[in-house]
Chain A
Amino acid sequence: MIAVIVFWTLAVITVLSAMITAFSRNIVYSAFALLGSFAGVAGIYLLLGADFLFIIQIFIYIGGILVVTIFAVMLTQGVADMNISNRIVGLIPAALIALLAGAVMLEAILRTPWPHPGTAALNPTTHAIGNAFLGPFLLPFEIASVVLLAALIGAIVISRQAARAEA
């Protein structure tokens, strides 16, 4: 019962924040509203028993991605002008596409027979993930490091010239 109340609270927080992000006239508010979506999704992960994802969501998304997003917004040339708005281009086609995509997903969700994993799936997941990284997912684990290295070099090489220009 509490789980249901918590779920709906989180769902409302997530969706409302996402709507502020999408519809806010001010890009700074949009960036800060992401906090609500990220936190709401984190709570839903917890509710689903994905405790590791919960930590990662807070750690990476709120602690990292959101901070970088806000930096990026504050780096934007026109942010001091206060009046940059999320220009909504083509509201009708966008609404049509969103409706269509939503209908397809709803159809798939309703038609899929959902197996219930049982309560065993609600055990803490961190150990299982750690064992998977050392076991069957050893290769993806190491490749993830390579992806991060490539991302680091790519990001640095793109943004360095901007930083040097300003120095």
Chain B
Amino acid sequence: MYFDYAVVLTLTLIGIVLLAGLMGLQKLLAPSNPFARKLMPYECGEPPTGNAWINFNVRFYLIALVFVIFEVEVAFIYPVAAVYLDWVRRGQRWFALSEILIFLLILFVGLIYVWVKRDLEWVKKVPD
């Protein structure tokens, strides 16, 4: 059973080796001559001002929250989808389908809600 995941392990290892190897190679071959101006972040030739860590807009968070909720929904549906065809073959199509539909319907209420309340819109139009 672990054998199926040998691919995952191999890819991970290849990724690590490639990255480390290229970086190491670069370190070995490239001339190293750093000075203050060269180490400055590149911003299209402009001298950078302020800090790279800025406050995110809180709207990102709202969208991210909705995203996580529906992501968890997908995670729940995934195993049911995996066995759905078995159940259809067993003649339980309507039972399985209606169960998934009820699950989706409940969260669909939430989607309608955020949609109508315009929480998914980027530029907020404040009602008052």
Residues of A within 8 A of B (CB): 2-3, 6, 28, 46-47, 49, 52, 55-56, 59-60, 63-65, 67-68, 71-72, 74-77, 79-80, 82, 119, 122-124, 126-127, 129-131, 133-134, 138, 141-142, 144-146, 148-149, 151-153, 155-156, 159-160, 162-164, 166-167
Contacts and interface: CB of A to CB of B under 8 A. Distances in A.
Interface string B40-84: 000000000001011111111110111111011111101111111
B117 interface: yes
Contact of B99 (A55, A75, A134, A149): A134
Given A122-B1, A164-B124, A146 B106 contact: yes
A134 B56 contact: no
Describe B's contact surface by its main secondary structure. helix
A82 B114 CA distance: 35
A166 B71 contact: no
Interface of B: 1-2, 5, 8-9, 51, 53-62, 64-69, 71-76, 78-84, 86-87, 92, 95-96, 99, 102-104, 106-107, 109-110, 113-114, 117, 119, 123-126
Contacts of B53: 28, 74, 79-80, 82
Given A80-B53, A141-B103, 19 more contacts: A2-B2, A74-B54, A74-B55, A75-B55, A75-B61, A80-B55, A122-B1, A134-B95, A141-B76, A141-B80, A141-B99, A142-B103, A145-B76, A145-B104, A149-B106, A149-B107, A149-B109, A156-B65, A163-B62
A156 B72 CA distance: 16
Contacts of A166: 57-59
Contacts of A155: 65, 69
A3 to B, nearest CB: 7
A85 to B, nearest CB: 15
A13 to B, nearest CB: 11
Describe A's contact surface by its main secondary structure. helix
Nearest to A77: B55
Contacts of B8: 46
Contacts of A52: 79
Contacts of B1: 49, 119, 122-124
